[in-house]
Structure 1
Amino acid sequence: MSAHPAPRTRLTLNDLRTKRDAGDPLVMVTAYDFPSAQIVEEAGVDLVLVGDSAAMTVLGYDSTVPVTVDEMLMLTKAVRRGLEAPLLVGDLPFGSYEASDELALATAQRFLKEAGVDLIKIERGGTTVDRARALVNAGIPVVGHVGLTPQTATSLGGYRAQGRTADAALAVIDDALALQDAGVSLLVIEAVPSAVTAALAPLLHVPLIGIGAGPDADGQVLVFHDLLGIHAGGAAKFVKRYADVRGVSVAGVRAYADEVRSGAYPASAHEYAMPAAEAARLQEMLALR
């Protein structure tokens, strides 16, 4: 009997809204390559985001800003090949959509045509609301992102919680409502006090996904490398580690290195055999050269 679950039916935006209306929390996670896509597929998540967090988690940049459209497309295409049921969200990187509606549309179309995403994610309110409206008017489903927006973290005072005063919280809520009015299909709210999410959620008719935003959102998203403990160093306050993949991986590679150095690997079980007669004939052939 196969250890793998039966394939699930491909989810739709209507399925997400139905889940939300029924009070079923939505599960979203990032993925950045084919193996991670296969893992989250088998785990049964609802949405997969190829976030520009890949800039730091996969590509080694010190922020999300340097990652390019071509780099994001390469990663997103790999994830697409590993997914069946979850909706795939492509994250437009910094500098690829802000300047004009035309630029936003051209970049989003590449993600749809080349990577097969189901939705496009863009950050902030302000002029991003105009970009969101243009994409929606062109028939492209959009995910908005408010609160802490990593692409503009420097202008927000760094990677820190937003909306901690009433005025700042109202600005986050207004951004979310403006994006909803522009026609987005989904909203992500990041790193805000739980009270902000609790105040916003009843005002929305689209699903709200939280990350460091408390329990009142319609679902949650975490970064794959954070929740599995893949990378070294600390994590944000809101991250819960569900595994220590890095620790297990280091131990496994260290054990391999020790066995290679001691001669324990490869053992006979790891060798390919050659018939004795053929081995003898090979020696004769070599002797005649």
Structure 2
Amino acid sequence: MSVNKEIKKVTTNTLQKMKANGEKISMLTAYDFSFAKLFDEAGLEVILVGDSASNVMAGHETTLPITLDQMIYHAQSVIRGTHRALVIVDLPFGSYQGNSEVALASAIRIMKETGAHGLKIEGGEEIEDSVKKIVSAGIPVMGHLGLTPQSIYQFGTYNVRAKEEAEANKLKKDALILQNAGCFGVVLEKIPASLAKEVTESLTIPTIGIGAGGYCDGQVLVMHDMLGINSEFKPRFLRQYLNLAENIKGAVQQYIADVKSNDFPNEKESY
């Protein structure tokens, strides 16, 4: 079913109202025009152009190798397919850490060159200055706490974060710092559901969970995981809605067989 063209665009203000009204926010990643168009027409509120493109689109082991130029390319493609959803773009590793001037320059490039509606940045207190600087330039920023994949070599594991009291306390403090710095929302990744509930209730801005239980104001998944394109990745938090890997392989094998048996193209498919 196509979404009516007259439906109003989703904005950061829309998400704020959804939290206030107790209406859950749906968010998925997308990296190209075709999928963005389908997701937008399906009625998704938020599309994240994730640095997970490094994994699912480019085949890297981590999110670290993807560049700002590559993120801009993916974001441009997604924006061309989107009319209603709010499009948020990840600032990639190395484009903001440790220097708020560099962070602002990266943010401005993404906004000017892609037409996206906002950015997402990983980290808490250590990126406070960058968030403030970007927000002061009129650019919406979403935070990201818990398991922050750009810090994977520091963590050394993709296990659940903030199970210990000290890390949980830091996460709670970081969430408030991000809100006070001007973030319009925050992603909570792979943390205990009880902690996510506490953080969600302590903030006036919406929380989006991934592996953080059902108390968050919304949920996000990587499209390749949720659609079963990436069949190797099966964490507990993932609900797979399709098995496209099998369907696509089956279709391609049928195509190969039809070509080889001279069944395709047939008379009706010829001019």
Q: TM-score, normalised by structure 1?
A: 0.91
Q: Answer yes or no: is the 8 Å Cα contact 2:3–2:42 preserved in 1.
A: no
Q: Which residue of 2 aligns with 1:41?
A: 40
Shift of 1:105: 0.6
1:126 Cα offset (Å): 3.0
Letter in structure 2 aligned against 1:175: D
Match of 1:285 in 2: none
Q: Does 1:6 align with 2:15?
A: no
Name the SS for the 1:88 alignment partner: strand
Aligned partner letter, 2:143: G
What CA deviation, in whole Å up to 9, does each residue of 1:237-268 have, x standing for no partner?
21100001111110000000011111111111
Q: Note the 1:59-138 alignment, pairs <5 A.
A: 59-138=58-137
Amino acid at match of 1:62: E
2:16 partner letter? R
* Displacement of 1:99: 2.9
| 1:97 aligned partner, one-letter code | Y
Distance in 2 of aligned mates of 1:213 and 1:151 = 18
Contact 2:18 2:24 (8 Å CA) reproduced:
yes
Structure 1 Cα separation of the partners of residues 3 and 201 of structure 2 = 36
Q: Distance in 2 between matches of 1:173 and 1:157?
A: 22
Alignment-derived partner of residue 218 in structure 1: 217
How many residue pairs match? The answer is 270
SS of alignment partner, residue 153 of structure 1 = helix
Going from structure 1 to structure 2, the CA distance change for 1:168 and 1:144 (only over 3 Å counts) comes to same
- Distance in 2, matches of 1:226 and 1:199, equals 27
Which residue is 1:171 aligned to? 170
Is the alpha carbon distance of 1:179 and 1:5 closer, same or farther for their aligned partners in structure 2, counting shifts above 3 Å?
Answer: closer
- CA drift at 1:136: 1.1
- What are the superposed Cα offsets for residues 4-37 of structure 1, whole Å, 9 maximum, x if unpaired? 3322221122111111111000011100000110
C-alpha change, 1:167 and 1:117, in structure 2 (3 Å) is same
Matches of 2:247 and 2:87, distance apart in 1: 29
Alignment of 1:249-268 (within 5 A): 249-268=248-267
Q: Is the 8 A contact 2:227 2:240 kept in 1?
A: yes
State the partner residue of 1:197.
196
Letter in structure 2 aligned against 1:198: K
User: For the residues of structure 1 that align with 2:215 and 2:22, how far apart are their CA atoms?
Assistant: 11
Distance of 1:9 and 1:271 partners within structure 2: 44
Deviation at 1:160, TM superposition (A): 1.4
RMSD over aligned Cα, in angstroms?
Answer: 1.0
Q: Which amino acid aligns with 1:229?
A: G
One-letter code aligned to 2:2: H
Moved runs in structure 1, 4+ residues, more than 4 A?
Answer: none
Q: Deviations over 1:47-73 (max 9, x none)?
A: 110000010011111110000011111
Structure-2 separation of matches of 1:235 and 1:123: 23
Are the aligned partners of 2:76 and 2:113 in contact in 1 as well (CA < 8 Å)?
A: yes
Instruction: Return 5+ residue gaps in structure 1 as ranges.
Output: 273-289
The percent identity for this pair of structures is 39
Amino acid at match of 1:197: A
- What residue in structure 1 maps to residue 236 of structure 2? 237
What amino acid maps onto 2:36 in structure 1? A
The separation in 2 between residues aligned to 1:37 and 1:5, in whole angstroms, is 13
Q: Which has the larger radius of gyration?
A: 1
AA partner of residue 181 (structure 1):
N
Name the stretch that deviates more: 125-134 or 3-12.
3-12
* Mapped partners of 1:237, 1:181: distance in 2: 32
- Give me the whole-angstrom Cα distance separating, in 1, the residues matched to 2:162 and 2:240: 25
Q: CA deviation at 1:87?
A: 0.5
Q: Distance in 1 between matches of 2:170 and 2:8?
A: 39
